[in-house]
Structure 1
Amino acid sequence: MPDKPLTVFTYAASASLAAIALVYFFHPAYLIDGDGTSSSASSRKKGIVGLYNPANDCFINCVLQSLAGLGDLRVYMIRELHRRRLEGSEVYASVPSKDSTGKEINAQKLLSLQNGEVTEGLKDMLDKLNEKPIYRKTISANAFIRVLEHAFGTPVAKTQQDAQELLQFVAERLQEEYHAGCQARHRFREANIQQVRAQESEESGADQGDEHTASVGLQSYVGSVIKSVAKGETEDGFPLEGQTESRVECKFCGFIPKAKPTSFVMLNLMVPQTSSSTLNDCFDSHFKTEIIDDYNCDKCRLTHALEVYQKRLTEAKGSEGKAKLEKGVSKIQHALEEDPERPPEDVTLPESRFAPKRRIARHIEMKQFPKILIIHLSRSIFDPYSTSMKNLAKVTFPERLPVGGLVNRRIYRLSGLIIHKGTHNSGHYETVRRQGSYAPYSNPNASSASGPFSRKASANPTPRSSPSIRPTSAESALKETFDSASDINGQPGTSSSSSLPSATDSAPSTDPSSASDALEGRRNDAEESMPLSSEIGTPTSVPADKYLSPPSTAIHSRTSSLVEVSRLKRKKKPIDRWWRISDDKIKECKLSEVLGMTKGVYMLFYEMERSGTDGG
């Protein structure tokens, strides 16, 4: 016979295995997703996939981990690649020989852009990083590195590279692939239009007038289709792409040239050389009004040229010379009135060094807000007498960032950041990202309040009667009455009434609101006239003929309904969880700790908030 301690140990081990099996089979998502607030830190680390660092790959790993936390970017890549597969490879296989300006095109590079080579490689990499593993998992970024090397035609060096430069190259490449795909679709549609137009003109046996009318109708129809498709592409564009405008105003004449928008995928902000600063200070220094001297104003230059020509005209003696000068004066005056930025081509203006120098006010405005705002905090200090240094200023940043003016403003929410430790020439990168459920692993329809599987509670929930009390005949009659009221209202009936309804009351009404009001009034009267004791669920002595249902049943029904409604209305608070990732080492941290990383913050990733979406 075995010893008693061994028997106790065997029993305890069996009970532990049984408990683990029960938890695993009945709550598998709890362990895999790590959403339990009471789970240990070691078990919650299983929800994030790490990256190997075989040879100074931290600059690549931090960029990939930061991009993996951007939900809008992953939705864009899924939509873009799915669209390319649906439309077919023939749409993106056509490569023109020259561009719109007449320059020759690198066919191999354009074909790679149209096929979305880097977009597909990045999507596969981010899908692997956003898996929900049940054990600690670490993967390698070599597959994505090979995609970059094939796309750019050059190997990726592993010696102390800058994460900002790599992210700039990747983001610009994704932007080029998006626009190359749009242009390929546009060329394919134009080719189909020309083919249809040619077939219409060949097959048409009508006269020239009818053919012209048909051609105009076809052209207007095709034009409307192209505009609608182009509008859709603009609305669902590249999420990292934004636009800024640089506006200049001459302080002498007040002339404001036309602003030309400049696209960007990353906003570069200079960190002031102080001990501490804020992100708003960096924005203010970038978007503030700047005064610049010794500027050549186009309008002032034309005004100076007009004065020179008028002076020459007064000094001219020959009729031929006067006629030429008068023609030049009229053309300069016309240019000043129409567009000072376009001087007359056949009029020789004085050299720009003789034009007056003016003072201007220059400021930058945000023209198009990107869905994902990537901010690079430039910490480089360049000294001509020494090597470059790193600015160690502390930069505080908020979780919710307002960008823009009072009229045109967007609110962004922090999704992640990159931290740099070390000097300007060497160091280590780490990533801090917010945990979220993104596509394709998220289910946006899970919390939908419509459809047959709606989680929204009914306005009048069905009462639950006590199982220990059998329904009486009066209760059956009342149930039939409530069923009829439910047929009228489209909702289940509620608890007790003070008396049986008459034939007039039980008749179907054509006004659903009147039936609902009458039913609500009977329920309120019954609740006000029903005496209750101090202990819930213990009724006082009430005559049986006064109430149609036993008081205990009514009280229990009312209590059950209130408990059920409160339980359904209780929303689960989303868990705001952050992860600090250093290659394959993962550590959970809090939002307060993230906002306190002011000394080493190097890059910030914000996503635009949209109405009707929660930030979980």
Structure 2
Amino acid sequence: MNGRDGLLWKNYKLNSSSLRLILIGSLFTASSYVLGPSIISWLFPRRKAANKRSKRLDQYTTGLFNSGNYCFANSSVQALASLPPLTVYLNGIFKAMEDIYILLKEESDDQETVQLGETEDQGDDLCWELRSLHGIDFRMHIALGKVLHNLQQPIKSPRNASLYELLSTIEEIHHCRISSYQQDAQEFSQLLIETLENEFNRFKKFLSENVNRTDAVSLPLFPFNGFMANSIVCMKCNRSARVKLQPFNMYLQQIPQTTSVLLETLIHDSQAEIIEDYSCLVCKLNEIFANERQHGLDNKNDSDKSLLQELDRVFPTLAINDYLPDPLATFVSSYSMNRVSFTHTKSRIVKKTVLVNSPEVLIIHLSRSVFNGYSHSKNNCKVNFEEYLNVKEQIIESSKCVGVLSVRYKLMSVTVHSGTHTRGHYQCYRRKPNFERDCKTPSKFMSSAAVFLPSLPKNHSSHSNADIDSIESNTNHNNVMDNGRETSFEKEAKRSMNNQTLSDPPKLSPIPHAFHNHTTYPSTKCSSYSSNVTNNVSSQPLTSIELASSALSDSLSDSHQRLSSTDILAASPPNNKRSGKTLKIASTLPWWKISDTKVSEHKLTTLLFETKNVYMLYYQRIQA
């Protein structure tokens, strides 16, 4: 081979190598184009789900970001989003905010109003003006309403939001810092509910003291308020104690250290308790009378005889925990005859805690914390629960049980905790809602029970008396919700839904930073609201027993007129412009399982198998 042929051969080899490289590159590019999406979806399944769009409205719901250990807050708020009574309550409060604003402007001699600029979020302007001008604080209601409004919107593709504004509001109200370290979902829920209740009670007090036309403002029932009663019976004398009412908003159940237990059995067994060495007043008097009959009254002076006669007169109506007036109490405590004293007489009693006014939403907290003297651990007892729960409600009259009612509840959401006592993760199961078609935009659907945020009424300084009379007439028609008049927050909700497609992502708040530990605040209990607030309500503070007794008497006297939130929603007039055709959800997968931003669909059986991790159950009262 000469030099020319060698050069040609080298060029041929070089060209062949280039062609092979080009061919390999082309094949790699083509294979990447064809197989790339499949490989990416296999390596990153969440990215595939995030980009997937569903034809069903009930496949996805909005998740919540978790930048640290905020799963305790995320699961607690997600559980509240599936409670129709809470939605009814918030909508009623927001409507009352608009009504009270109009009335205060009409009653004020000064018609000048504070001019506010446009705010980014609904409800902020009205909340700010009511707070700045009249001291009415609804910051917690507005913050929670925003979150629930977002979580209740139907979506066709995954999206997420943040609890930054809600957590910041709680910190601002209580002057505390919420830590990002491991926290308890029950403590967070308790703090959230009590903050709502405090704002609600202050608003009721404001109405009774400052508003002359309180019949034009209608307040809903606080959905978490209920009452328990302690029924005590002495096993020696068979007398009972005066019933003491205790308001509650969360039903605590201590789980036994056994393998498994049924929820209804747990509730029934926890209501009864045997107490030894109880100081029974009736048993003491029985022994004093028996001793006097045996030895006679000859050795008694006139003062002691008079006291014994007075004790004999009041004895038939005494309860075992009554307090005697001072002369009689001193005589009984110092009584001694023949060197025999009956002041230390003890009896055995049965204490039973019963429901006397069941709340619209029954939150059951299953306490799994066990202390062995050195450290805490988690009780892994399996608690078997069902979709429906039946509880007994006793009718109390004159401190005695005169009847028993059967109350039925339906499970709406569940919070579960997996892991140990010190390290774990909270998740939430939510029941899917039904969806209603928007009449103005038939292609749009909204949740059948959704929160609608309030807004500052336009031309609020120029309302006529006819407008006020119209408000008064509408509120008297239904003292819980006014579905006949389309309020401004309903109009605003429709407008916002018409301008936003179902797949549009929400505006996300910044991720919260690490907070410090928060302090525990005392509970401020109050009774459920009696519809018409009068101006002659005393401004003096009442004890919890006085509040409970007053509210219970009102509740029992009007029990035949009591409506549940289900009845309220069902009683909406047919011409309500907010709703239209109802879209029923698929019965095969009626539950969402939400772990922060991860949302999946599940059957009821999957939820009922969470016996080892179930931590909080949210039941809605329904008709039996």
TM-score of the superposed pair, with normalisation by structure 2: 0.56
What aligned pairs does 1:429-578 form with structure 2 within 5 A after superposition? Answer: 429-437=426-434, 441-442=446-447, 574-576=585-587, 577-578=590-591
Residues 430-477 of structure 1 show CA distances to partners (whole Å, capped at 9, x for unaligned) of 1111111489944589xxxxxxxxxxxxxxxxxxxxxxxxxxxxxxxx
What aligned pairs does 1:204-283 form with structure 2 within 5 A after superposition? Answer: 236-283=220-267
Cα separation, 2, equivalents of 1:424 and 1:173: 27
Residues 210-241 of structure 1 show CA distances to partners (whole Å, capped at 9, x for unaligned) of xxxxxxxxxxxxxxx98x99xx86xx411111
Distance change >3 Å, CA 402–CA 314, structure 1 → 2: closer
* Corresponding residue for residue 391 of structure 1: 379
Shift of 1:160: 0.5
CA contact (8 A) 2:434 2:585 kept: no
Deviates more, 1:156-165 or 1:298-307: 298-307
* Corresponding residue for residue 325 of structure 1: 304
Matched, 1:419 2:422: no
Q: Which residue, out of 300, 316, 324, partners 1:343? A: 324
Residue type at the aligned position of 1:382: F
What aligned pairs does 1:12-27 form with structure 2 within 5 A after superposition? Answer: none
TM-score of the superposed pair, with normalisation by structure 1: 0.57
Shift of 1:416: 1.1
Shift of 1:328: 2.0
Cα separation, 2, equivalents of 1:135 and 1:70: 23
Distance change >3 Å, CA 604–CA 444, structure 1 → 2: closer
State how many pairs are aligned: 389
Residue type at the aligned position of 1:155: R
| RMSD (Å) for aligned C-alpha atoms | 3.6
The SS at the match of 1:354 is coil
Cα separation, 2, equivalents of 1:90 and 1:157: 41
Shift of 1:305: 5.6
CA contact (8 A) 1:421 1:429 kept: yes
Residue type at the aligned position of 2:385: F
Cα separation, 1, equivalents of 2:268 and 2:434: 34
* Corresponding residue for residue 537 of structure 2: none
What aligned pairs does 1:95-110 form with structure 2 within 5 A after superposition? Answer: none
The SS at the match of 2:326 is coil
Shift of 1:168: 1.2
Shift of 1:173: 2.2
Distance change >3 Å, CA 310–CA 342, structure 1 → 2: farther
Residue type at the aligned position of 2:302: A
* Corresponding residue for residue 528 of structure 1: none
The SS at the match of 2:180 is coil
What aligned pairs does 1:151-166 form with structure 2 within 5 A after superposition? Answer: 151-166=173-188
Distance change >3 Å, CA 429–CA 338, structure 1 → 2: same
Distance change >3 Å, CA 572–CA 424, structure 1 → 2: closer
Residues 262-297 of structure 1 show CA distances to partners (whole Å, capped at 9, x for unaligned) of 11111111222122222122112222x332221111
Shift of 1:400: 1.4
Structure 2: which 5+ runs fail to align?
A: 1-51, 106-130, 335-341, 394-402, 439-445, 451-581
Distance change >3 Å, CA 60–CA 113, structure 1 → 2: farther
The SS at the match of 1:170 is helix
Cα separation, 2, equivalents of 1:179 and 1:144: 20
Percent identity over the alignment?
A: 28
The SS at the match of 1:249 is strand
Distance change >3 Å, CA 266–CA 393, structure 1 → 2: same
Residue type at the aligned position of 2:326: E
Cα separation, 1, equivalents of 2:103 and 2:305: 60
Residues 397-454 of structure 1 show CA distances to partners (whole Å, capped at 9, x for unaligned) of 1111112269511221111111111111111111111111489944589xxxxxxxxx
Residues 547-582 of structure 1 show CA distances to partners (whole Å, capped at 9, x for unaligned) of xxxxxxxxxxxxxxxxxxxxxxxx986424211111
The SS at the match of 2:223 is coil
Cα separation, 2, equivalents of 1:270 and 1:308: 44
Cα separation, 2, equivalents of 1:444 and 1:359: 50
Distance change >3 Å, CA 572–CA 87, structure 1 → 2: closer
* Corresponding residue for residue 88 of structure 1: 101
Cα separation, 1, equivalents of 2:292 and 2:410: 59
Distance change >3 Å, CA 360–CA 158, structure 1 → 2: same
Cα separation, 2, equivalents of 1:399 and 1:113: 43
Residue type at the aligned position of 1:57: Y
* Corresponding residue for residue 299 of structure 1: 282
Shift of 1:146: 0.8
Distance change >3 Å, CA 339–CA 610, structure 1 → 2: same
Residue type at the aligned position of 1:358: S
Shift of 1:119: 2.0
* Corresponding residue for residue 358 of structure 1: 347
Residue type at the aligned position of 1:170: L
Matched, 1:120 2:142: yes
CA contact (8 A) 2:227 2:247 kept: yes
Cα separation, 2, equivalents of 1:308 and 1:147: 66
Residue type at the aligned position of 2:144: L
CA contact (8 A) 1:112 1:151 kept: no
Larger radius of gyration: 1
Matched, 1:371 2:375: no
CA contact (8 A) 1:420 1:602 kept: yes
Residue type at the aligned position of 1:169: L
Shift of 1:376: 0.9
Residue type at the aligned position of 1:291: I
Shift of 1:326: 2.6
The SS at the match of 1:604 is strand
The SS at the match of 1:346 is helix
Cα separation, 2, equivalents of 1:158 and 1:177: 26
* Corresponding residue for residue 84 of structure 2: 71
Cα separation, 2, equivalents of 1:420 and 1:290: 29
* Corresponding residue for residue 481 of structure 1: none
